[in-house]
Chains A and B, each alone.
Chain A
């Protein structure tokens, strides 16, 4: 059955570039908010709904769940990186004091795919008792030669002493790109590398499981409560309706927590076997080594450009490093520069005997943008053009073209850019080289249909909004609260949001930056239904025609009669709570299906020690309708911080003899800290895209795409030579400076 649709004319785009379009909207849905909408609450700064609970420690995360009789689980893992499990004897472990359950996860003959692959699981009264028992598990393996260094792996390209790929370009699709390369006035070719980054979620993976007969409740650190429920139902072969997943709070996922994971499944199995609740959370080393990562990449680019700065050819190939699966290491170059450019994109994966890569905040994009944006700056330098001018010449995204201009002015790009790369500032400390760089950002993140939100209005005028999806930490609770308050015309404080309980209506997995754009239209719809229902109830109580009563702007008005405040209207409800369920209708064609952004960075480089310090960063980012401004800005700054860390510090370091990560901690797996952080500004660029009744777009990922690229370009501007291998640690900077002196 096709839904009935109503046509609305709305104003979309952005200030200075507004357009009227007609959208066909499901007639149960609301007229989309647009550029002309005047908001009361939406777009304002509101304190995070659960901020006090978080900073006072009252928020209970999966890690904090302690139940009477709780057992502690752990996973016994293979020390070899590749081979076969030959023998497994769990008897001695079972006999250890305090041990309540021991399970084999692999049978003799099973393959070991990386150092840390699971072999058995133990639940005991204390974690130490479980560790004691783990030491008694007798495992024998038939080890095979492993490869954990990507450059040594089959299928990896050979690199010369300067790190450049030596292999010829592929044959496939060569004709058009070769012609374009031949025809280009200037051609550059270079190889870029990114090391493996781990998600480094502060809360490690895992959950606490408790059985009530054949019913199961888990408290999970997950970014997909419903995905976790489905995953457990499928693996444990019990009905999904028997499972409740709680994630009222969670301590970071960044793409690594969509499934219950082996750790979650084992917690449930151990709890069943021991007939007691079990908590199984990974250790920090396991978190780094067994819970996914952002794959490393070797990216080779050759590109052609004309004297006027037009990019005419762009040939991109990538060897991703996704671990033992050999899949999912693809990277993504920006596309807005190349809409009318001869282009080829070749993606290969190089398998290593390491943990598998997983989605991580804009999977594959930061790597591809780093390589491409640095190549663009190298091209711009080759033809003597300013990098900003070069972007303006080639970028075909009208939102970003406006953002480039706004950002360049706010950042004072022209003034701050180092006009003599490699040289210190006139009159400044000759030791420090300053430079500025920029990068584009992009993503989709428009959300989709399927989510539902319950809205209740009680007689005390408290409004409850509920959805079973999780707040990944981005501020979803605040988003729900603010949108309900906006639609009802009441103060934010009167709305209480509840998330992270699968007994409430369905919501999305928090991946692809879809949570807010998916949930926002549903909560607005729910609040609108609640508003109408409240009016109908008031009409019944007052004995007037329902058509004559309206609830809007925090008041209930009877046509030709009295006006009740929202509070007084609610009093009439008595015990008859209003309860409605709002829906998320499919997106309709609005203004844009993607978001655009750009970032600017200033660095200084100590030419003596090779230290790079990021001094200042600016992000200009479109995320459609800005709902919760503070939280959106916070997301933006958070992604920039993570990007600084990726650009300068983070790398997985592996002992290739054993295949074990040596820096699986936070001492030598270096995360950026307060003293390393630049001054940061986030400018949210308002765009009305009209694709839903709210028009929100995701912001978690687009901002994460650009920082490493902007910082690498700033380093290039500072020292005069590109450093094409992340992270930009002092050893690499000094090597580049030494090479520059030789040239």
Chain B
């Protein structure tokens, strides 16, 4: 990596005021360190946010919401007492299965939401593409694409890498960000571009904005959620597909449902139609599989990732079944 200035701000306001060209905010730095070592990123200044751990790593319930500090580690989330119960299942599972125990003990939930994608073209200095700004198009389109997008892709085949984003989004979470103009709250879905493209950023934060907390509504008593992901191996692998679902069943019928898919599109992918199709139906495997088919109906696989369609369908059906059984 190239030399940089490491800054430890005294307050969030000070941190926010440091924004500018060549300035990068860092939480645990797990994703950033890889990019620095590969030299695809060479910031002049790194603002270390970890010093705010005392304030920003708490997980607390207040009223009908749980507030998760952005610097809480994935392990903290996975083990949080206030998140016990079937309603938060998707969040616990997504945080508890990410990467390895070592990574989970260090990685923050905020960092997990804002990490950059792991496309092997995008992240290598040797390759230039439209998204990394060093080339004209997308190299995965005609190149090696077994781990790339099958849904919603247009001019960039990257997939969203976060485990916890689909789960939090399925649970209807919002995020709180602090910038020079103060604090604002936005639905998690709006943290990501609505129509992601090659030239655009992977998130919607302004340069001076810092993600400080995630607010998750406490699910109703009859709400259950679950997260499942497919991998090629069980230890330390990126999901090939992932599904987070929220489900409420009343009188033997699905009353409420949300489905958000991971690792299949450039953003956490909301399968609204599939979720809607289950309303009023019995929570049976057959109905779940039908919904899963619908969720992937618009899939446009590339040369090497057609397997993601059946695998993604099975993973989603599994998540729905797991939620229904809670």
Contact = CB atoms under 8 A, between A and B. Distances in A.
Nearest to B228: A609
A730 B120 contact: no
A64 interface: no
A662 B315 contact: no
Given A649-B232, A649-B233, A655-B143, A730 B307 contact: yes
Contact of A730 (B142, B236, B240): B240
Interface string B308-325: 001100110110000000
A351 to B, nearest CB: 21
Interface string A665-704: 0011010111110000000000000000000000000000
B126 A731 contact: no
Given A667-B118, A673-B235, A730 B230 contact: yes
A616 B104 CA distance: 29
A104 interface: no
B2 interface: yes
A611 B120 CA distance: 23
Contacts of B310: 608-610, 734
Given A128-B3, A657-B139, A658-B127, A673 B234 contact: yes
A674 B147 CA distance: 22
B230 A660 contact: no
A333 to B, nearest CB: 29
Contact of A653 (B144, B317, B318): B144
Interface string A695-736: 000000000000000000000000000000000011100110
Nearest to A735: B307
Contacts of A609: 230, 310-311, 314-315
B230 A662 contact: no
Contacts of A653: 144, 146
B238 A730 contact: no
A606 B307 CA distance: 14
A686 to B, nearest CB: 35
Interface of B: 1-3, 39, 118, 120-121, 124, 126-127, 139, 142-144, 146-147, 230-238, 240, 304-307, 310-311, 314-315, 317-318
B235 A675 contact: yes
A674 B143 contact: no
A592 B143 CA distance: 51
Contact of A611 (B39, B230, B304, B306): B230
Contacts of B314: 606, 608-609
A131 interface: yes
9 closest A-B pairs by CB:
A673-B235, A608-B314, A731-B307, A675-B234, A662-B120, A675-B235, A609-B311, A676-B233, A609-B314
Contacts, number: 89
Nearest to B238: A667
A610 B311 CA distance: 8
A657 B129 CA distance: 13
Nearest to A131: B39
B315 to A, nearest CB: 7
Contacts of B144: 653-655, 662
10 contacts: A610-B310, A655-B127, A655-B143, A657-B139, A657-B143, A662-B120, A662-B144, A667-B118, A676-B234, A731-B305
Contacts of B146: 653, 731
Contact of A672 (B126, B127, B235): B235
A663 B237 contact: no
A708 to B, nearest CB: 15
Nearest to B121: A662
A658 B126 contact: yes
Interface string A634-654: 000000000000001100011
A611 B237 CA distance: 13
Contacts of A731: 146, 304-307
Contacts of B230: 609, 611, 730
A649 B232 CA distance: 7
Contacts of A734: 307, 310-311
Contact of B311 (A662, A672, A730): A730
Nearest to B240: A730
A132 interface: yes
Given A655-B127, A668-B238, 19 more contacts: A132-B2, A608-B314, A608-B318, A609-B314, A610-B310, A611-B232, A613-B234, A648-B232, A649-B233, A655-B144, A657-B139, A670-B232, A670-B233, A673-B234, A673-B236, A675-B235, A731-B305, A734-B307, A735-B307
A657 B126 CA distance: 12
B232 A729 contact: yes
A79 interface: yes
A656 interface: yes
A656 B143 contact: yes
Nearest to B306: A731
Contacts of A606: 314
B259 to A, nearest CB: 17
B308 to A, nearest CB: 9
A613 B307 CA distance: 18
B235 A648 contact: no
Most A CB contacts (10 A, CB to CB) among B238, B305, B314 go to: B314
Nearest to B126: A660
A658 B120 CA distance: 13
B147 A668 contact: yes
A658 B146 CA distance: 17
A606 B231 CA distance: 12
A663 B123 CA distance: 11
Contacts of A657: 139, 142-143
Contacts of B238: 667-668
A673 B231 CA distance: 13
Interface string A581-611: 0000000000000000000000000101111
Nearest to A657: B143
Contacts of B3: 128
Nearest to A672: B233
A387 to B, nearest CB: 27
A132 B139 CA distance: 26
Contacts of B126: 79, 658, 660
A662 B147 CA distance: 12
A582 to B, nearest CB: 44
A126 to B, nearest CB: 10
Contacts of A663: 120
A734 B304 CA distance: 13
Contacts of A610: 307, 310-311
A354 to B, nearest CB: 14
Contacts of B139: 655, 657
Contacts of B305: 731
A648 B233 contact: yes
A658 B142 CA distance: 12
Contact of A662 (B2, B124, B233, B236): B124
Contacts of A611: 230-232
A670 B121 contact: no
A606 B240 CA distance: 15
A663 B306 CA distance: 20
Contacts of B233: 648-649, 670, 672-673, 675-676
B106 to A, nearest CB: 16
